[in-house]
Amino acid sequence: MTGEGKSSSGLRGRLDGPVLTVWAKHDRDSDGWLPLWRHMEDSAAVAGLLWDTWLPAGVRRLIGSALPGGEQDARRLAVWLAGVHDIGKATPAFACQVDQLANRMDAQGLEMRSQQSIGPDRRIAPHGLAGQALLGEWLQERHGWTVKQTGQFTVVVGGHHGVPPEPGQIAALHKHGQLLRTPGPSRAVWRRVQDELLDACADEYGVRDRLDEWRSVKLPQPVQVLLTALVIVADWVASNADLFPYFPQDVARSSEERVAAAWRGLDLPAPWCPDDPEGDAQELFASRFGLPPGAKVRPVQEAAVELARTMDEPGLMVIEAPMGEGKTEAALAVAEIFAARSGAGGVLFALPTMATGNAMFPRLLDWLKRLPGAEDARYSVLLAHSKAALNEDFAELMRESGHRIIAVDVDAPEEPLWRPSDKTRSAPAELVAHAWLRGRKKAMLSSFVAGTVDQLLFAGLKSRHLAMRHLAVAGKVVVIDEAHAYDTYMSVYLDRVLSWLGAYRVPVVVLSATLPAGRRRELVEAYAGGKAGAARSAAEFEAVGEARAYPLLTAVTPGGEPVLRSPEASARGTDVILERIDDSLDALVDRLTDELDGGGCVLVVRNTVRRVLETAQALRARFGDENVTVAHSCFIDVDRAAKDADLLKRFGPPGKAENRPAEPHIVVASQVAEQSLDVDFDLLVTDLCPVDLLLQRMGRLHRHQRGERQHERPERLRRARCLVTGVDWTADVPAPVRGSVAVYGAHMLLRSAAALLPHFEEGHSRPVRLPEDISPLVQTAYTDGPAGPESWAPAMAEAFEQYERHCADQAGRAAVFRLEEAGRDGKPLFGWVAAGVGDADDTRTGRAQVRDSRESLEVVVVQQRADGSLTTVPWLAPDRHGNRLAGLELSRDQVPPTRTARAAASCGLRLPIQFSYAEVMDRAIEELEGLYVPAWQVKDSHWLSGQLILALDEDCQTRLAGFSLRYSESDGLEVTSA
């Protein structure tokens, strides 16, 4: 099971004497312990099973490509490295930690000073670094390797706790040899034991006769990363005492019985192994997405499938197509083809926000259930963002997964978010939120993941256990949605991640409706480039940056030349009449009174929450509260989800939506209306914003056909019209309102106004033709050439200088913790994440590392009665099982019941930017900590432990850090100066 050279009695049969007393693990509560030889054997066996049944074929292929014996060599190497990874525990620096176990070793001649006498010097020799040194010494002295040859292999041992050693640490250890072997007579015994273990592993795992040939190998850094990650996973599994019990409880079982029982208990789902889908694009889309009778696959979808099938090998594909053209379905179809061709074992769908991730997750599940063989399949799935446990679809998967193994990360123990029931999920497609894959460092190893783009960007951030994130993405097809939505700061990380994905030969699909041509070229070059790309002429990519066709497909393989395809646009199209209107609430109210005389549904998009609320108040005075709906980012989580669901229910596509208002209705929204909501309005009013985002907003206007020539819409609103406001249009140079400038900057707003100017000119204007005008407008706004009237030039030049300084500042700050590009083959990963950020996770602090945003405060909103008691807010709807959630008492004397605590946690709220400035934030935290409930700060209270609690009074108001706060179910949070 563990490779050629395996003896009938396993590793134990090759060992005798003092080596059998060396220990690896100890449980202080039970006094159980595990010999080092046993843990080495367990880890090697697990690595072999992971290789054979869990690691995607593409990852195995990549590792094998670096070795002379291909995948057979790669398996041997992985198993051997897992076997020797803890050799550093056979040292005095480690063994002295438990007196009774140290005394047993001492009695066998392995003398050591006590932990106290070694003192702080122990920190110089953590067992990973010590193991790296011992393995390197063994390879050099016993097998004739040079120091340069050993590092690329031994760094896997040195980095198996998440951080490869730095050169300074290695040098310091060389000066303290007594930490590896006690000086004096016992030194020889220590050396004999260490060599005996390494010799036994070399023989047992079949590498002794391969070492001479491996000596000339130059392992690429991506391969070093993947081997390190595989050893980490094997170590974590083998370190789980539930799976691999300690002695003396498990001393009688054979190694084979022990490993077999553990593997059955772990029960990891196998990777996805799709066949290349048969049939043409029409058949593929009909079977995977349930096309309605008579529906035809769209040209861009057909072209994407054809291109995926004809590329030399899977690589990067950028799909640019209008909103509503089915880019998501195209990406999933391409992902299936790419996975079949590349050996990828899953899909990562990265989206800009939690809300878009939540919207994507059920679509991903539905696609999985339609895949061939789904009735017999078992897939591990994940919704990857910090509030995933509050998502009902994901929570149901977690409840129904019947796996009881509760594993923890060895060096960072953490409690699971839930404990599974005894239920099992029924076919089709057993979708499993697997218990072992629930730790924050392991979750991304799930085969199918939908989540925020942060999870992908973390792969470009120097952080602890970065190798695990790389293993997670290296085994998948990666889909990046809304690629235009990421600013310079995020793009610095995205481009670096793409360079590593290219090095791993990971297939990638990038989606956008409004991608600037320059950004398209940067994405393609980042993926195809690396060291090879730098050597090629940039001229190969000029066509990518100059292409103006739309829709457009761009494809490139790692190290290859880009390919462009221009599929026909679908027959769907809309002409949008643009009109400038004054930024006056009275003018807006009067205009909408006229426009809605015969009924209709209007979307008004504002650039700030304050403008949303001010606009809604003015409109309600004229149209009534019941005819105005508000949507923005400052709602508690459960209300935000309800808002999205309500908008889809009332304003969604024909045949799916219910109760589209017969009376005039106005939705006033912030940017939350731009992305991933399939809603359809008769008229659009929008603040001026960057042109790509304005086009996204237009995508909510006449999005669907409502009768022939839109005759089912009110007569006055049968032509699509967009009224642009938020600007003083009478000024010599358009003057956007201050809030819009604060959000987007003057440069992008003026470039947008200049690009749109031909569509505004009185007497000469023409409609914006969608989709034909999307690319010309975006490219005009995002190129550096002159735009707008000559009289605008001085103002635009000043705005551009400010924009350039801002972008340079963003790029500079992002580069501080950005991972370097993959180094030359054979260069060890020493110092790979040096000067990094420590742990990176999906918390507000973690997200701030890959997004250029001020750290925000997140609170859980509850209500406080006059008597001081706390309850959940009073308007919560019952859960899907009919259980009451509103007004449930939150006891301060004990942990609330799970349903109550979860209901409270679902009322999370991110406070607006006023609370992100240092002095205000400090004051707010201090005041919020006044409502500290000790009873909730226990490990069994994961829903509320560590949360900041914002208590509203019975009128749903409170004061915080000098501001007055008011919350309502209809309007969300309103903040005013006290």
Are 601 and 748 in a shared domain?
Answer: yes
Domain CATH number, residue 676:
3.40.50.300
Confidence bin at 435 (pLDDT 50/70/90): low
Determine the average pLDDT of the residues in 832-846: 68
How far is the C-alpha of 69 from the C-alpha of 55, rounded, in Å?
A: 19
d(CA 851, CA 870): 35
Beta bridge partners of 510: 318, 480
Which range (224-233, 906-915, 956-965) has the least confidence?
A: 906-915
Position 530 confidence tier, pLDDT thresholds 50, 70, 90: very low
The pair of three-digit structure tokens given for residue 82, joined into one six-digit string = 């897992």
- The model's confidence at residue 940, banded by pLDDT at 50, 70 and 90, is low
pLDDT tens sequence across 438-450? 666 777 888 999 9
Range with the poorest average pLDDT among 237-246, 381-390, 453-462 = 381-390
Q: Which of 218-232, 256-270, 426-440, 928-942 has the lowest mean pLDDT?
A: 426-440
**Whether residues 232 and 370 fall in one domain:** no
More confident residue, 917 or 733: 733
Label the pairing between strands 347-351 and 477-480: parallel
Do 158 and 131 meet the contact criterion of CB atoms below 8 Å apart? Answer: yes
Long-range CB contact pairs, 951-955, < 8 A, 24+: 951/862, 951/863, 951/864, 951/870, 952/861, 952/862, 952/863, 952/864, 952/873, 953/863, 953/864, 954/863, 954/864, 954/865, 954/866
- 239 and 364 housed in the same domain: no
pLDDT at 843: 53
Q: What is the pLDDT of residues 329-352, one digit of tens each?
A: 999 999 999 999 999 999 999 998
Mean pLDDT throughout 693-709?
91
Of 721, 751, 770, the one marking the end of a domain is 770
Confidence of residue 764 (pLDDT cuts 50, 70, 90): low
117: Cβ–Cβ under 8 A, 6 or more apart, which residues? none
Q: From the CA atom positions of the chain, what is the Rg in Å?
A: 30
Is the same domain home to 580 and 680? yes
Cis omega (within 30 of 0) for bond into 771: yes
Q: Convert the pLDDT of each residue in 569-586 to its tens digit.
A: 886 788 999 999 999 999
The whole-number average pLDDT for the span 752-773 is: 87
Q: Between 939 and 788, where is the model more confident?
A: 788
Identify whether 532 is part of a domain: no
Of 731, 750, 770, the residue that ends a domain is 770
| Cα 140 → chain centroid | 41
Cis bond leading into 551, ω under 30°? yes
Confidence of residue 120 (pLDDT cuts 50, 70, 90): confident
Q: Is residue 475 part of a domain?
A: no
The percent helix, strand, coil of the chain (3-state, each to 5) is 45, 15, 40
The reply to whether 619 and 755 lie within a common domain is yes
Q: What is the mean pLDDT of residues 720-726?
A: 97
pLDDT band at 945 (very low <50, low <70, confident <90, very high): confident
pTM of the model: 0.90
Mean pLDDT computed over every residue of the chain? 89
Alpha-carbon distance of 856 to 612, in angstroms, equals 21
Domain CATH code at residue 127: 1.10.3210.30
Percent of the chain scoring above 70 in pLDDT: 91
User: Residues 950-969: pLDDT tens digits?
Assistant: 999 999 999 999 999 999 99
pLDDT for 424 equals: 35
Structure tokens at 139: 């390879």
Residue 938 — pLDDT band, cuts 50, 70, 90?
Answer: confident
Range scoring the smallest mean pLDDT among 86-95, 115-124, 125-134, 698-707:
115-124
pLDDT, one tens digit per residue, over 774-796 is 999 999 999 888 889 999 999 99
Q: Is residue 693 part of a domain?
A: yes
* pLDDT value at 427 more than 50: no
DSSP 8-state code for residue 906: T
Question: Does pLDDT of 64 surpass 80?
Answer: yes
Read off the tokens for 844: 């507000």
* Domain C-terminal end among 770, 796, 825: 770
What does the alpha-carbon distance between residue 30 and residue 639 come to, in Å, rounded to a whole number?
48
In percent, the amount of the chain with pLDDT more than 90 equals 68
Residue 153 has pLDDT above 80, yes or no: yes
Structural domain for 368, as ranges = 353-445
Q: In this predicted model, what pLDDT tens digit does every residue of 596-633 receive, in sequence order?
A: 999 999 999 999 999 999 999 999 999 999 999 999 99
Q: Which helix (H) or strand (E) holds 289?
A: helix 281-289
| pLDDT score of 434 | 64
Both tokens of residue 671? Answer: 């940017």
Residue 692 lies in a domain: yes
Does 929 fall in a domain? yes
Quick check: is 420 in a domain?
yes
Which candidate, 619, 595, 775, places its Cα nearest to that of 681? 595
The packing angle between helices 637-651 and 354-370, to 10°, is 60
| pLDDT computed for residue 247 by the predictor | 82
- Is position 780 within any domain? no
> Could you tell me if 151 and 244 lie in one domain?
yes
pLDDT exceeds cutoff 70 at 693: yes
| Residue pLDDT, tens place only, 342-388 | 999 999 999 988 888 888 888 999 999 999 987 888 888 888 877 77
User: How much is the average pLDDT of 272-296?
Assistant: 91
Q: Are 624 and 758 part of one and the same domain?
A: yes
| 727/611 same-domain check | yes
Do 115 and 237 reside in the same domain of the chain? yes
Cβ atoms < 10 Å from Cβ of 789? 12
- Predicted pLDDT at 401: 59
Reply yes or no on whether the pLDDT at 265 is more than 90.
no
Choice among 84-88, 151-155, 516-520, 842-846 with the minimum mean pLDDT:
842-846
Taking alpha carbons only, the member of 356, 273, 363, 318 closest to residue 479 is 318
Confidence of residue 853 (pLDDT cuts 50, 70, 90): low
Distance CA 557, CA 508 (A): 10
Confidence of residue 252 (pLDDT cuts 50, 70, 90): low
pLDDT tens per residue, range 3-50: 444 554 789 999 999 999 999 999 888 889 999 999 999 999 999 999
On whether both 749 and 887 belong to a single domain, the answer is no
Lowest mean per-residue pLDDT among 212-221, 600-609, 663-672, 841-850: 841-850
The residue type found at 433 is A
Mean pLDDT across 144-170? 95
Contact in structure between 380 and 448 (CB atoms under 8 Å) = yes
Count up the domains in the chain and report the number.
4
Question: Which pLDDT belongs to residue 431?
Answer: 64
Are 120 and 261 in a shared domain? yes
Query: Where does the pLDDT of residue 242 fall: very low under 50, low under 70, confident under 90, or very high at 90 and above?
Result: confident
Contact between residue 672 and residue 633 where contact means Cβ atoms under 8 Å apart: yes
Of 85-99, 322-336, 588-602, 839-853, minimum mean pLDDT range: 839-853
Q: Do the domain assignments include residue 782? A: no
| Rounded Cα distance, 445 and 433, in Å | 11
